[in-house]
Structure 1
Amino acid sequence: MIIRGLAAIVLALPVLITATPTPADAARRDTCAPSRPGRLTLSEPWAQRRLGFTSVWPLTRGRGVTVAVVDSGVDAKHPQLKVAQSVDLTGTGTQDCLGHGTSVAGIIAGTERKGSPFAGVAPDARLISIKHTNAERGDPALLARAIAKAADLGAQVINVSVRAVDRMDLRRAVGYALSKDAVIVAAAGNVTKEDGTSSPAYPAAYPGVLAVGASTPDDTIASFSNTSTPVAVLAPGQALTSTWPGGTYRNDLEGTSHATAYVSGVVALVRARYPELDNVRVRRRVELSADGTKGKGSGAGIVNPRLAVTTILPSEVVAVAPQQPASLTEAAIAKADPPDDHAIGVASAVAGGALGAAALAVTLAVVVPLGRRRRWRPGGETGS
Structure 2
Amino acid sequence: MNAAVRRPPGVGSAGAVLAGVVLSAGVLLPAGAARADTPGPSAAAGAPGDALPGVTQLRRQPAGKPAGCLPASAKGTQLTPWPQTFLRPDRVWPLSQGDGVTVAVLGSGVSDGSGLLAGRIDFAAKLPDAGDPARDCVGHGTFLAGLIAADRRDGAGFAGLAPHARILAVGVTDDTGATSPDLLAQGITAAAERGARVIDVGVTVPTGSDALAAAVRLARSKGALVVAPAAPDVMPGSQGDAKPEPVYPTAYPEVLAVRDLGPGGALPEDGAAAVGGRVDLTAPGDAVMSTGPTAGGYYTGSGPSYATAFVAGAAALVLGYRPGLSADQLAHRLEATAYRAGGAVPDPQVGHGTVDPVAAVTSLLAQEQSTPSPAGTAPATPTVPVMPPARPASAAPRQAAVVALGALGVIALVALAAAIGPRGRARGWQPPKPEPGGGA
* TM-score range normalised by the length of the shorter chain: 0.7 to 0.9
Q: Which residues in structure 2 correspond to 1:63-74 (within 5 Å)?
A: 63-74=99-110
Contact in 2 for aligned 1:162/1:189 (Cα 8 Å): no
Q: Structure 2: how far apart are the matches of 1:272 and 1:71?
A: 24
Alignment pair present for 1:62 and 2:102:
no
- Residue number in structure 2 paired with 1:267: 315
Alignment pair present for 1:209 and 2:255:
yes
Give how far 1:177 is off: 0.9
Range moving further from structure 2, 72-81 or 256-265: 72-81
- Which residue among 214, 218, 227 is the counterpart of 1:185? 227
Q: Structure 1: how far apart are the matches of 2:287 and 2:99?
A: 28
Q: Structure 1: how far apart are the matches of 2:296 and 2:179?
A: 25
Q: Structure 1: how far apart are the matches of 2:145 and 2:213?
A: 24
More helix by share: 1
Q: Which residues in structure 2 correspond to 1:1-384 (within 5 Å)?
A: 13=65, 15=66, 33-35=69-71, 37-82=73-118, 83-87=120-124, 88-89=126-127, 90=129, 92-93=131-132, 94-133=134-173, 134-164=175-205, 165-190=207-232, 192=234, 194-195=238-239, 196-223=242-269, 224-292=272-340, 295-318=347-370
Q: Structure 2: how far apart are the matches of 1:114 and 1:241?
A: 17
**Amino acid across the alignment from 1:95:** R
> Deviation digits for residues 176-214 of structure 1, max 9, x if unmatched?
111111000111123645241211111112112111000
Contact in 1 for aligned 2:285/2:303 (Cα 8 Å): yes
> Deviation digits for residues 344-378 of structure 1, max 9, x if unmatched?
xxxxxxxxxxxxxxxxxxxxxxxxxxxxxxxxxxx
> Deviation digits for residues 208-236 of structure 1, max 9, x if unmatched?
21110001113222132543221111001
Q: Structure 2: how far apart are the matches of 1:47 and 1:233?
A: 15
Q: Structure 2: how far apart are the matches of 1:112 and 1:76?
A: 15
> Deviation digits for residues 118-164 of structure 1, max 9, x if unmatched?
00011111111001112333232111101100001000000001111
Bigger relative CO (Cα 8 Å, ≥ 6 apart): 2
**Amino acid across the alignment from 1:203:** P
Q: Structure 2: how far apart are the matches of 1:114 and 1:305?
A: 23
SS in 2 for 1:241: strand
Contact in 1 for aligned 2:130/2:171 (Cα 8 Å): no
Contact in 2 for aligned 1:203/1:209 (Cα 8 Å): yes
Give how far 1:318 is off: 4.5
Q: Structure 2 length as normaliser, TM-score? A: 0.63
Q: Specify every segment of 5 or more residues in structure 2 that has no aligned partner in the other structure, as ranges.
A: 1-59, 373-440
Give how far 1:9 is off: 5.9
Contact in 2 for aligned 1:211/1:232 (Cα 8 Å): yes
Give how far 1:249 is off: 3.8
Bigger Rg, structure 1 or 2? 1
Range moving further from structure 2, 82-91 or 228-237: 82-91
Contact in 2 for aligned 1:290/1:304 (Cα 8 Å): yes
Contact in 2 for aligned 1:65/1:125 (Cα 8 Å): yes
Identity of aligned residues (%): 36
Contact in 2 for aligned 1:188/1:226 (Cα 8 Å): no
Range moving further from structure 2, 103-112 or 272-281: 272-281
Range moving further from structure 2, 297-306 or 83-92: 83-92
Contact in 1 for aligned 2:73/2:296 (Cα 8 Å): yes
Q: Structure 2: how far apart are the matches of 1:225 and 1:312?
A: 36
Q: Structure 1 length as normaliser, TM-score? A: 0.72
Q: Structure 2: how far apart are the matches of 1:226 and 1:285?
A: 27
Give how far 1:41 is off: 2.2
Q: Structure 1: how far apart are the matches of 2:274 and 2:62?
A: 31
Q: Structure 1: how far apart are the matches of 2:210 and 2:99?
A: 34
Q: Specify every segment of 5 or more residues in structure 1 that has no aligned partner in the other structure, as ranges.
A: 1-7, 17-31, 321-384
Q: Structure 2: how far apart are the matches of 1:36 and 1:302?
A: 33
Contact in 1 for aligned 2:233/2:302 (Cα 8 Å): no
Q: Structure 2: how far apart are the matches of 1:73 and 1:206?
A: 24
Q: What number of residue pairs does the alignment pair up?
A: 297
Q: Structure 1: how far apart are the matches of 2:135 and 2:94?
A: 34
